[in-house]
Amino acid sequence: MLNKFSLKNKVALVTGASYGIGYAIATALHQAGATIVFNDRSKENLEKGLADYKQAGINAHGYSFDITDEDNVAKGIKQIEKDVGIIDILVNNAGVIQRTPMLETSVADFRKVIDIDLTGQFIMAKAVLPSMIKKGHGKIINICSMMSELGRETIVGYAAAKGGLKMLTKNICSEFGHANIQCNGIGPGYIATPQTAPLREKQADGSRHPFDQFIIAKTPAARWGEPDDLAGAAVFLASDASNFVNGHILYVDGGILAYIGKQP
């Protein structure tokens, strides 16, 4: 049974995996046997990521390209296939969030978030699918969000993109399932990363940030998730153990979506 979870001889590309959730997922896939490839549009982040992987004993392959630039992505994928091999596993992790009230959000800023969090995932999937089809198998894992299901004030672009990403996941499943390609999503809960650090900052009096208090109270696990909490889900969805799981969003959220919250 454990052999079904092995990723030996598999090439996994995790976008935006220089740090945070992407780094944790890439590390988990490496521990399961995969060869790790990652990208970052920032050369500075790319170099730092390479150094961190090396320090962790992981021989990762890093490439600099922007997931929203179709031509740039095509060149990057071609180079990866030449240098490392056909991509067996794509984890669409790269993303951005902007916290601004809707009426203060410009159309340009809204489009920027949609472009990175949704259009970029489409571009990446489109780029790797032909080789997956030719090979006869492939795994695409989209990093969705609880905002694929819920709304919240100040993140209109992010919620719209993540809702769209959920449906992109289902549509890729629908269109390419016959080619033995599985496309699923992971929906993280509130994870302690640099992106969410402002929401966890201690107040001047030493108390928790109000949003931090809210999340702890709303989550049955009574804590923020850690990037490593996503490792098991990622390995499962990347492996042959999930070959009949398709079009599914696996929420790793400490139970928050199942919980109405405590009575005041």
Kindly report, residue by residue over 163-202, the tens digit of the pLDDT: 999 999 999 999 999 999 999 999 999 999 887 898 899 9
> CB–CB of 219/177 below 8 Å?
no
> CB–CB of 2/30 below 8 Å?
no
Element (H, E) at 131: helix 120-135
Model confidence pTM above 0.75 = yes
Q: Does a structural domain hold residue 218?
A: no
The pLDDT, as a whole number, for residue 74 is 98
- Greater pLDDT, 103 or 194: 103
For residues 103-125, give the mean pLDDT: 98
Residue 264, pLDDT above cutoff 80: no
The pLDDT, as a whole number, for residue 244 is 98
**Mean pLDDT computed over every residue of the chain:** 96
Q: How confident is the model at residue 248 (pLDDT cuts 50, 70, 90)?
A: very high
The pLDDT, as a whole number, for residue 196 is 87
The pLDDT, as a whole number, for residue 254 is 98
- What whole-number distance in Å separates Cα of residue 213 and Cα of residue 169? 32
Residue 144, pLDDT above cutoff 90: yes
Q: Does a structural domain hold residue 239?
A: yes
47: domain CATH number is 3.40.50.720
Q: Does a structural domain hold residue 204?
A: no
> CB–CB of 159/147 below 8 Å?
yes
Q: Pick from 16, 152, 31, 32: which is nearest to 91 by CA?
A: 16
Q: Does a structural domain hold residue 206?
A: no
Q: Does a structural domain hold residue 147?
A: yes
Q: Pick from 10, 76, 72, 66: which is nearest to 41 by CA?
A: 66
Cα dihedral angle (16, 20, 25, 26), rounded to 10 degrees? Answer: 60
Q: How confident is the model at residue 261 (pLDDT cuts 50, 70, 90)?
A: confident
The three-class DSSP label of residue 250 is strand
The pLDDT, as a whole number, for residue 128 is 98
Q: How many domains does the chain have?
A: 1
Q: What are phi and psi of 44, to 5 degrees?
A: -65, -45
Is 259 catalytic? The answer is no
Residue 48, pLDDT above cutoff 90: yes
Q: Does a structural domain hold residue 213?
A: no
The pLDDT, as a whole number, for residue 69 is 98
* Full domain range(s) for residue 156: 2-191+227-258
Catalytic residue among 158, 190, 251, 259: 158
Q: Does a structural domain hold residue 215?
A: no
